[in-house]
Amino acid sequence: MERTLSIIKPDAVKRNLIGHINQLIEKNNLKIIASKTHKLSKNEAESFYGVHKERPFFNSLVAFMTSGSVQVQVLEGENAIVSYREIMGATNPEDADEGTIRKLFAESIEANSVHGSDSSENASIEIAFFFSGLELI
Ligand code: CMP
């Protein structure tokens, strides 16, 4: 059993896609063990995406991630990190496989509907960024 952090991004929340995305998550045997709506501040978005701060898309990414509410969730299941990355599809929706969340719903490489942790170490850091121990079963 493994846990990963999922963020349903502002583009998807604005289009009422939380239910559609969670259906795909659950159909693929991942359990949503914690879930909350949050509006990221500029500081929070800059800190969460700190590893990207030298990238040319950083300021635009922070503006996008603070443009509306996000749904942050902890997913649990077998190989949850890799499994969720497969369910999400490639970062750029143009490269994403058929049936993946990003192929189905993403608008662009930036407004790509979902985020998922990319490693076990980052999953722990990202889950702790949004959730206290008491919020996790
Ligand atoms: P995410 O998986 O959350 O990780 C970093 C985010 O930066 C990515 O999804 C996209 O939303 C955004 N982004 C914007 N432009 C790019 C790019 N050229 N390459 C990678 N990520 C990008």
pLDDT of 137 > 80? The answer is: no
Give pLDDT tens digits for 11-47.
999 999 999 999 999 999 999 999 999 999 999 999 9
Q: What is the pLDDT of residue 61?
A: 98
Q: Is 108 in the pocket of ligand 1 (CB under 6 A)?
A: no
Backbone dihedral angles phi then psi of residue 68, each to the nearest 5 degrees: -175, 180
Handedness of CA 35, 123, 116, 50 (dihedral sign): positive
Predicted structure pTM score = 0.97
Ligand 1 pocket test: which of 57, 81, 85 has the largest number of ligand atoms within 8 Å of its C-beta? Answer: 57
Instruction: Decide whether any atom of ligand 1 lies within 6 Å of the 110 Cβ.
Output: yes
CA pair distance 46, 40, nearest whole angstrom: 10
User: What is the Cα–Cα distance from 137 to 129, expressed in whole angstroms?
Assistant: 16
Is 115 annotated in the active site?
Answer: yes
The reply to whether ligand 1 has any atom less than 6 angstroms from the CB of 71 is: no
**What is the residue with the minimal CA distance to atom 4 of ligand 1?**
115
If you measure from the C-alpha of residue 65 to the centroid of ligand 1, how many angstroms do you get, rounded to a whole number? 11
Question: What mean pLDDT value characterizes the chain?
Answer: 98
CB 109 less than 6 A from any atom of ligand 1: yes
Residues 108-136 have a mean pLDDT of 98
Distance CA 125, CA 48 (A): 10
pLDDT value at residue 91: 98
What pLDDT sits at residue 113? 98
Q: pLDDT by residue (tens digit) across 41-95?
A: 999 999 999 999 999 999 999 999 999 999 999 999 999 999 999 999 999 999 9
**Cα–Cα distance, 45 to 126 (Å, whole number):** 12
